[in-house]
Homo-oligomer: A and B are copies of this chain.
């Protein structure tokens, strides 16, 4: 099968001068990659006629499709529409359906619809309009000699919505790309190379039409399965069978799929088990509680928590024994055990979890260097502890402690 090639063209001085980050082109690349379309070049040019027309011609010469973002505002700096009209030798017309949409868009938000706003409805006559339900600048689609140009707004959520609902399906149909089905498998608590080692035989036995990618981030590794074929339901079934085979090998590290976050997965587990939780965070400084409370509805299972940064609060609030601090210190198994049990009682929760460690850069010793962290889980029946040996970097240590605490709760609840 002939490889289908794409170029991505970003238009705007503000990106060229480093005033804003272009996150669009990575997202577009990754979506095209998942359709089996190969991006051969990304280009950013400024708001000048010469640069834009030059980039159009260069891209058309190299690729089967050119995906353009930006330069669609209503002011005179915004040149994408007039340049597309010129490039495709077309006059510009007022599109009535876009005009109605833009007018409604402004009026429904209580904003005045001005003459300037009207210009958002001016599109090249030769273009097919792609309705932008989330904004005022329409997408447009052009075909010539078997090649496709697509122009989209630069505002990320508008562009993404247009791509997902209209552009990607149209590209798949125009270029007759195969059906592609993806599944993200999200793991925590195991490094990339250890995971790869555990699932080596499974990975090697993957059928021809299904491929695997490792996507590591701080403290987590995502596995992406990509299946290519001609029937989505069959692919979905094939992938599910592979996940079923993966479970005995790595199931204990898997906390969710696709867009699920770790804090969401822990929340769902707590809800499913009908349990509430409380936190006592020393070195993670409230970050676990912050993560838990980013989830809408977390008040159903999150009772509350405490950050006893100074040791006397560990004693007064959580009932950590002064002798524990004296003999073992605050960064110790005994201390996090008493903290987790104390949090449980203080907040009248089913579960207590805790952290205490040396985030750095100061405070380390030979016996307990920077990066030494203890965490604990208590449910009233037993208390599980874990020692972490992390990094020299304070922010990374806080992040990794937060992930480890949530993962300890997840694993303990899943027993």
Contact = CB atoms under 8 A, between A and B. Distances in A.
B398 A294 contact: yes
A198 B110 CA distance: 26
Interface centre among A10, A20, A308 (most CB of B within 10 A): A308
A360 B296 contact: yes
A153 to B, nearest CB: 19
Contact of A309 (B33, B45, B281, B304): B304
Contact of A30 (B18, B26, B298, B317): B18
A18 B22 contact: no
A394 interface: yes
B296 A309 contact: no
A42 B39 contact: no
A75 interface: no
Contacts of A281: 286
A285 B296 contact: no
A136 interface: no
Interface in A282-320: 284-290, 292-294, 296-299, 302-310, 312-313, 317
A18 B224 CA distance: 14
Contacts of A22: 26
B51 A41 contact: yes
B303 A305 contact: no
Interface residues of A, dominant DSSP: mixed
B306 A306 contact: yes
B293 A309 contact: yes
Contacts of A176: none
A240 to B, nearest CB: 25
Contact of A362 (B31, B285, B297): B297
A377 interface: no
A306 B281 CA distance: 10
A44 interface: yes
Nearest to A348: B312
A166 interface: no
A302 B296 contact: no
A112 interface: no
Contacts of A290: 284-287, 290, 398
A294 B304 contact: no
Interface in A37-66: 38-46, 51, 58
A176 B359 CA distance: 45
A318 to B, nearest CB: 11
Contacts of A310: 299, 303-304, 347
A94 interface: no
Contacts of A279: 307
Interface of A: 10, 15-23, 25-33, 38-46, 51, 58, 215, 279, 281, 284-290, 292-294, 296-299, 302-310, 312-313, 317, 346-348, 359-362, 394-395, 398
18 contacts: A15-B26, A16-B40, A18-B25, A18-B33, A19-B30, A21-B23, A21-B26, A40-B51, A41-B46, A42-B43, A42-B44, A43-B44, A286-B305, A293-B398, A304-B306, A304-B308, A304-B313, A306-B307
Given A21-B23, A304-B313, 19 more contacts: A15-B26, A16-B41, A17-B30, A17-B38, A18-B29, A18-B31, A41-B44, A41-B45, A42-B44, A43-B43, A279-B307, A286-B290, A287-B290, A290-B290, A293-B398, A296-B360, A303-B313, A304-B310, A310-B347
